[in-house]
Amino acid sequence: MAFPIKSLLVFLFLLNQLNCFSQINQNDLTQNVNDTTFVNLKEYSQDFVYDMKYATADNFLKSKVYDCAECYLRYKTVKALILANERFMKKGLKIKIFDCYRPLDIQKKMWAIVPNPEYVANPSKGSIHNRGGAVDITLVDFDGKELDMGTSFDFFGKEASHDFPDFSKEIKNNRNLLRKIMAKEHFNSFDSEWWHYNLKAGLKDTVSNFKWECK
């Protein structure tokens, strides 16, 4: 009977090691990381839903502009977004992500496809997405069903505006909930796009062309 007990002890030891490992890789926001360092959101939380539209051709550009779907942001943006998501989760909801940090070269690629400042930020100025402080998001329930926000992501028209008056109470409430909780974690909304949020502390960071590796 000695062998099974030994095996059990080895198993428990490995399980413990695995636990330690996963704790280091998830939700550990106490690491000594500089606030402006670019990090991958999924390494800090498993509680987000992803639908990275620009890593597919399912977007208004009708073009796949990212080689792979990853959500990189400055560390301070990740911390604030996780705190916002925790607030939503207490209400039975989660953040679903459409876009995060966007390298300047990708911005140039988008501008080459649609060189219209009403739809794409001019890369000569760059946007907060190029600074790692902006996210495009909506809310889903724990089954992954999106809340009705009145329009789809990247709908270009007055209906995408926070102030558009002719929506049902439910849609207005959904948008207001998103805006209210994001504001609590110091994100500014953007009047003409209900899905876009800028971290206030990220507005003055430099435009970046940092690129992540696709595995």
The residues carrying an active-site annotation are 193
Residues that bind Zn ion (CB under 5 A): 136, 196
Which lies closer to Zn ion via its Cβ, residue 76 or residue 196?
196
Shortest distance in whole angstroms from residue 19 CB to Zn ion: 37
Query: Is 136 annotated as belonging to a binding site?
Result: yes
Which lies closer to Zn ion via its Cβ, residue 85 or residue 188?
188
Residue nearest to Zn ion (CB): 196
Which lies closer to Zn ion via its Cβ, residue 33 or residue 114?
114
Amino acid occupying residue 44: Y
Sheet holding 193-199, edge to edge: 49-50, 93-99, 134-141, 193-199, 187-190
Shortest distance in whole angstroms from residue 106 CB to Zn ion: 13
**What one-character DSSP code corresponds to residue 63?**
S
Shortest distance in whole angstroms from residue 117 CB to Zn ion: 14
Query: Is 196 annotated as belonging to a binding site?
Result: yes
Burial of 27 (0-12, 13-18, 19+ CB in 10 A): middle
Binding residues: 129, 136, 196
Binding residues for Zn(2+): 129, 136, 196
